[in-house]
Amino acid sequence: MNYLDSPSNFDTSTWYPSLWPPFTQIASANRPERVIAARGALLERDNAPPLIDAISSWWVTLHGHSDPYIAKAISEQAKQLEQVIFADFIHPQAERLSQRLCNKTGLERAFFSDNGSTAVEVALKIACQFWENREDHRDQIIAFDGAYHGDTFGAMAVGERNLFNAPFERMMFPVSRVQWPATWWGDKDVNAKEVSAINQLEKLLETPTSAVILEPLVQGAGGMAMVRPEFLNAVEKKVKAANALLIVDEVLTGFGRCGSLFAFQKAGLKPDLISLSKGLTGGFLPMGITMSTEEIFKAFIGDDPRLTFWHGHSFTANPLGCAAANASLDLLEKNPKKYLDFEFRHLPHLKKLIKNPKVINPRLHGSIAAFNIEVNGTQGYLNSIGKALKQFALQNGVFIRPLGDVVYLLPPLCITDDELEKCYSTINKGLETL
């Protein structure tokens, strides 16, 4: 039956007028609550007690909500220069930010865009055109099972093909896939899984390849699926030996989330292209950046206009976003222990939580702690057990957003010890109600 032949009986007038929320089936979702303010790790609700934001508002709020230092930087910049076309002009905030990111990543060029998905899109386009500009025609791109890289078409194509992008399947370009050897505490099969994945990658790389793209250490939306640095080292060796480009998607993992400033550094990688967003501006403003090596950059320079990278965004290198990003980097530089030591804050709580028999596959990288709930039936994003736990947590002052049977905590760096303990105790109590 055609979907249009079976319209929903849902009365849309019962929903908020004008609004169309993301990743939400309103026919079955609870009405969202109104947040009127936020400070630190707390969300202030309209006519309800505050909530601990245990997932950094979709992984973007790095230092805490309404951080005064970043807010002041944006305010001061707005009084001086709010926007200028970046194809014809540069400005001090972009100059400073690009130089700082080059110094911190080891890559020499920064291309500005608007969000994480477009930062990935830019990386893919650069990688493909790089080889075309060198008259080396390569059609293969390799990604990993379970990946999520965004919702624009190129980013969707290299992500896991599933329910979310099924309507667009026939319009996406083909991508070769390698298994992702996700692991956890006590995983006895990790070595065999990694060997199998590397063998699979090596076989695929026999075909000339433009790029291999991966999320370093942690696949976020794919279920906080974590791999070992040793595996990523082996991947890089195979990619470099095949003379392909390595793209690391640091949209989630960047800016201290995995216990180092960037996850690729913790894994010991030297990527050719890096996609950045989310924590880039401390969560204050949307912005994306794609870092590139100088070698790649030079391939786009010449008298032939076909060499040009014909890509841009109206708000490329927006001065307000750059000011927020520079202020966020200031805070990271001022107190690196906040992200370097966060794993040790999670550790005792997670060790205690795994005594609950419903907790399986515990895992931890930096500020990201995760586990699976043992369930009867199908695992995955559509399992409803996470929704039940989410509702319990909401009623008890903690906001989490499980990925089906996967529960994770990814709080802002400012969260207090008491707030973090409450997150864990609430989850533990909630598991007993399931």
**Pairwise CA distance, residues 106 & 108, whole Å:** 7
Same domain (yes/no): 87, 41: no
End of a domain among 334, 363, 381?
334
Same domain (yes/no): 100, 229: yes
Same domain (yes/no): 147, 292: yes
108: left (phi over 0), alpha (psi -120 to 50) or beta: alpha
**Pairwise CA distance, residues 400 & 431, whole Å:** 13
Give CA angle at 414 (410, 420), nearest 5°. 55
End of a domain among 318, 334, 350?
334
Same domain (yes/no): 308, 356: no
End of a domain among 309, 334, 359?
334
Q: What is the CATH number of the domain that holds 387?
A: 3.90.1150.10
Same domain (yes/no): 196, 215: yes
Same domain (yes/no): 48, 35: yes
Same domain (yes/no): 158, 179: yes
Entry pTM: 0.96
Q: What is the CATH number of the domain that holds 263?
A: 3.40.640.10
Give CA angle at 35 (31, 36), nearest 5°. 140
* Per-residue buried b or exposed e for 213-243, using 16+ beta carbons within 10 Å of the residue's own CB: bbbbbbbbbbbbbbbbbebbebbbebbeebe
Q: In the 8-state DSSP scheme, what is residue 367?
A: T
Same domain (yes/no): 182, 57: no
Same domain (yes/no): 292, 394: no
Same domain (yes/no): 49, 179: no
Same domain (yes/no): 129, 260: yes
Same domain (yes/no): 113, 133: yes
In total, how many domains does the chain have? 2
Full pLDDT tens readout for the chain, 434 residues = 344 454 568 888 888 889 999 999 988 888 899 999 999 999 999 999 999 999 999 999 999 999 999 999 999 999 999 999 999 999 999 999 999 999 999 999 999 999 999 999 999 999 999 999 999 999 999 999 999 999 999 999 999 999 889 999 999 999 999 999 999 999 999 999 999 999 999 999 999 999 999 999 999 999 999 999 999 999 999 999 999 999 999 999 999 999 999 999 999 999 999 999 999 999 999 999 999 999 999 999 999 999 999 999 999 999 999 999 999 999 999 999 999 999 999 999 999 999 999 999 999 999 999 999 999 877 888 888 999 999 999 999 999 999 999 999 999 999 999 999 999 999 999 999 99
Domain limits for position 417: 3-66+341-433
**Pairwise CA distance, residues 420 & 424, whole Å:** 7
